[in-house]
Amino acid sequence: MDLQAISLVRSSFKAIAAVPDGPQTLSRSFYALLFARYPEARDFFPAAMDEQRDRLIAAVEYVIERLEEDSGQILAYLAQLGRDHRKYGIEDAHYVAVGNSLIAAVEQFPSTEPWTDELEQAWRDVLAVVAATMMDAANAESGPPAWGATVIEHLQVRKDVSIIRLQLDEPMTYTAGQFVSVQVPSRPRMWRYLSPANPANDQGVIEFHVRRVSGGWVSPAVVTQTLVGERWVVGSPLGDLGIRYDNGRDILMIGSGTGIAPLRAQILQMSQRGQDRRVHLFFAGRYPCDLYDLGTLWALAEQNPWLTVVPVTEEDQDPWWYTGPSSVAIPGMHRRLTGKVGQVVADFGTWAERDIQLVGSEAMINTTKFRLHAAGTPPENIRHDPSY
Ligand SMILES: Cc1cc2nc3c(=O)[nH]c(=O)nc-3n(C[C@H](O)[C@H](O)[C@H](O)COP(=O)(O)OP(=O)(O)OC[C@H]3O[C@@H](n4cnc5c(N)ncnc54)[C@H](O)[C@@H]3O)c2cc1C
């Protein structure tokens, strides 16, 4: 991709981001133009657009930031996104509509940057590569655009956490550690990312662990209202977490809350395949009761000598309002440690020879990366998806 064009687009977007409320203004203007010029596009979006607007800006920023640094990786991500977008029924013409509306919104933005022919061409060039990568990947895909799935089990393991198992209409091929977008019947067109907690299998059973986010549109409905028999829609797999079988390195995994799901999927897969590299898994939560899946992980550690599971919580006691069973230490298993997980992990050393995966909230990922960097961990060894 043309580096000059990327650089122009980056500084143009940075100028917008530097204006107070700039990205939100750009996003509002983009959707207004898109829906005015291409009214049929409105059907692809939910009635409430606030979250959607934030997602658009986050996605544009994510792509623009990475274009320059590692085009291979971002192009692979865009290809995945193109395959995933087939679930909307999007066609090539829609990419053109989105590109034109975004360029018009940038042009109309009251920015300090003058809008020149060169800048317009740079935006056109960059968006053309983005659209072509997504369209090519979508058009080359022969699998279903999305998978229908029936809920076969709903276990509410905590007031705010549910484990939901579904039977896919046909098995999906995904790499343990990837995530998918999901649409539930009570929240049409409000797709949310969830990470399968089990590896892909011929039976087509997929399991999600969902935490209720207070004030959220979708997760409270999933945790409190999901019924056996209801039909979900699941999009194509995304992300590149997963075991790197090419380098044979030992692995450090750090997951907090339901962030354990994609790590658990990988551990289950390793356990099925049989393997010889060591895996240290730190399972973190605020309270001991947040470690809702510790029993399964300990059972896996008992069967697999290569796996060490270390529970970590910020508080030593469960909160006063928690009325469920207390977690009981199992002889031979690592005792629970107390503290912020990033600090606890960094106190063990640099983990310099490990492939490291982090999954959890933005705050957890940022502080853990900071602690590991400070301890001397090479940053290139650390991988994570967009945060939860
Ligand atoms: C790659 C990826 C994988 C994910 N996998 C899982 C998974 O396996 N299980 C799971 O439970 N969730 C997972 N998530 C999070 C999930 O996609 C939703 O973002 C989450 O369930 C909230 O959706 P909502 O509709 O309830 O909230 P929204 O309506 O989207 O948000 C409502 C408000 O809550 C805030 N908010 C959103 N998420 C959080 C959060 N996590 N903590 C605090 N505030 C928040 C928003 O900023 C907003 O202000 C994943 C996210 C990503 C990016």
My answer on whether 118 and 25 are in the same domain is yes
Buried/exposed code over 142-154 (b: 16+ C-beta within 10 A; e: otherwise): eeebbbebebeeb
Q: How far is the CA of 60 from the centre of ligand 1 (A)?
A: 19
Contact between residue 236 and residue 83 where contact means Cβ atoms under 8 Å apart: yes
Phi, psi at 219, each rounded to 5°: -60, -40
Query: Which residue among 187, 195, 364, 388 has the greatest number of ligand 1 atoms within 8 angstroms of its CB, and so is best to mutate?
Result: 388
User: Which residues, at least 6 apart from 146, have a Cβ–Cβ distance to it below 8 Å?
Assistant: 86, 87, 233, 234, 235, 236
Is 199 found in the same domain as 263?
no
- Per the structure, the complete domain to which residue 15 belongs is given by 3-140
Is there a single domain that holds both residue 129 and residue 163?
no
Domain end position, chosen among 92, 124, 140: 140
Residues 15 and 132 in one domain: yes
Same domain, 341 and 227: no
Into how many domains does the chain fold?
A: 3
CA-CA-CA-CA torsion for 198, 201, 205, 210, nearest 10 degrees? 20
- The reply to whether 277 and 219 lie within a common domain is no
Structural tokens at position 77 = 């991500």
Report the distance separating Cα 100 and Cα 295, nearest Å: 52
221 and 261 share one domain: no
132 and 12, same domain (yes or no): yes
Q: Is residue 274 part of a domain?
A: yes
Calpha distance 204→143 (Å, rounded): 14
Q: Are residues 77 and 154 in the same domain?
A: no
d(CA 261, CA 199): 10
- CB-based contacts of 337: which residues, under 8 Å, 6+ apart? 310, 311, 312, 313, 344
CATH code of residue 173: 2.40.30.10
Please identify, among 90, 122, 140, the residue that sits at the C-terminal boundary of a domain: 140
Ligand 1: list residues with CB < 6 Å.
51, 179, 192-195, 208-211, 213, 215-219, 258, 261, 361, 385-386, 388
Of 140, 155, 186, the residue at which a domain comes to its end is 140
For a mutational test of ligand 1's pocket, the pick from 219, 225, 290, i.e. the residue with the most ligand atoms closer than 8 A to its C-beta, is: 219
* Local structure of 20: helix, strand or coil: coil
Structure tokens at 242: 């997963």
Distance CA 176, CA 25 (A): 38
What sign for the dihedral angle of Cα 275, 280, 286, 288? positive
The 10 Å Cβ neighbour count of residue 119 is: 19
Question: What pLDDT shows up at residue 70?
Answer: 62
Same domain, 151 and 135: no
Contact at 8 Å (CB) between 184 and 223? no
- Residues 56, 93, single domain; the answer is yes
E-only strand ranges, 159-292: 161-168, 180-183, 192-194, 205-211, 231-234, 251-256, 279-285
Instruction: Note whether residue 245 is domain-resident.
Output: no
Q: Whose CA is nearest to atom 24 of ligand 1?
A: 216
Using the atom order of ligand 1, give the atom closest to the CA of residue 195. Answer: 8
Give the CATH number of the domain where residue 379 resides: 3.40.50.80
In a domain, 106, yes or no: yes
342 CA to centre of ligand 1 in angstroms = 21
Atom of ligand 1 nearest to the CA of 193: 17
**In the numeric block, which tokens belong to residue 2?**
């043309």
Give me ligand 1 centre to Cα 110, in Å. Answer: 32
Q: Judge if 95 and 57 occupy the same domain.
A: yes
Alpha-carbon span 327 to 291, nearest angstrom: 8
What single-letter DSSP state applies at residue 238? B
- The number of beta carbons lying within 10 Å of the beta carbon of residue 190 is 19
Predicted confidence at residue 240, as pLDDT, reads: 86
Tokens of 69: 């640094």
Ligand 1, pocket-test mutation among 165, 180, 193, most atoms within 8 A of CB: 193
CA 154 to centroid of ligand 1, rounded, Å? 19
Q: Which amino acid residue places its CA nearest to atom 14 of ligand 1?
A: 388
- The protein residue with its alpha carbon nearest to ligand 1, atom 21, reads 219
Find out whether 215 and 71 touch, Cβ atoms under 8 Å: no
In a domain, residue 244? The reply is: no
CATH number at residue 8: 1.10.490.10
Query: Which residue owns the Cα nearest ligand 1 atom 45?
Result: 213
Asked if residue 11 lies in contact with residue 113, where contact means CB atoms within 8 angstroms, the answer is yes
Q: Look at the chain and count its residues.
A: 388
The tens place of each residue's pLDDT in the chain, 388 residues long, gives: 688 899 999 999 999 989 898 988 999 999 999 999 999 888 888 887 777 777 777 888 888 888 776 677 788 889 998 999 999 888 888 999 999 999 999 999 987 678 999 999 999 999 999 999 999 999 998 889 999 999 999 999 999 999 999 999 999 999 999 999 999 999 998 999 999 999 999 999 999 999 999 999 999 999 999 999 999 999 999 998 988 888 889 999 999 999 999 999 999 999 998 877 999 999 999 999 999 999 999 999 999 999 999 999 999 999 998 888 877 777 777 889 999 999 999 999 999 999 999 999 989 999 999 999 999 999 989 999 876 5
